[in-house]
Copies of this chain bind each other. A is one copy, B any other.
Amino acid sequence: MFYEHAIELLDRRGVTIEAIADIVYDLQLKFHPQLTRRECVESVDTVLKKREVQHAIITGVALDELAEQKKLPYPLQQMLESDEPLYGIDEIVALSITNVYGTIGLTSFGYLDKNKNGIISQLNSNKGMVHAFLDDLVSGIAAAASARIAHEYPDFSRYEINGEKDSL
């Protein structure tokens, strides 16, 4: 497993687990008022232990760094340098992260990717650096960690029959 390597890569690119956890906290607090930052850190950490998430980070960060070093062939180099909005491959790679806790992460992913919450907006303002994949990776991780928290707090009262909770 490349869990520690993935964390190291994110760190090298300026993204800490805590910064991702802050996004998750801001996103989920209104739905789960008892949520703590510590739970968000743990949720991000659990997402990073998934192999597919590590593979997405390893691939995306490699492409961003190769683009910074001008080592990608034309026109991929230009697409990543300009963060071409029609590129789409950065989003599909991040989707493999989001899916890790089910489809319900999709909505948060799109929302974060558009709103550029927290650390995500800072990534997009670093001139000279290429973060074509990184912002989508971070949105994907935060969305998956949020979906995981939502799954932890299900509301089963709606399935009660005759006032009694069903044996769910």
Contact = CB atoms under 8 A, between A and B. Distances in A.
Interface of A: 1-2, 4-5, 31, 50-52, 55-56, 58-59, 62-63, 65-66, 71-76, 78-79, 81-82, 84-89, 91-93, 95-96, 99-100, 102-104, 106-115, 143, 150-151, 154, 158-159, 161, 167-168
A58 B74 CA distance: 9
B96 A55 contact: no
* Most B Cβ at <10 Å: residue of A78, A92, A93: A92
A111 B115 contact: yes
A19 B72 CA distance: 28
A159 B75 contact: yes
Nearest to A83: B158
Nearest to A154: B86
User: What's the number of copies of this chain in the assembled complex?
Assistant: 4
Given A66-B66, A108-B114, A103 B76 contact: no
A96 B93 CA distance: 10
B76 A158 contact: no
Contact of A82 (B52, B99, B100, B158): B158
Contact of A104 (B78, B85, B109, B150): B85
Contacts of A73: 62, 65
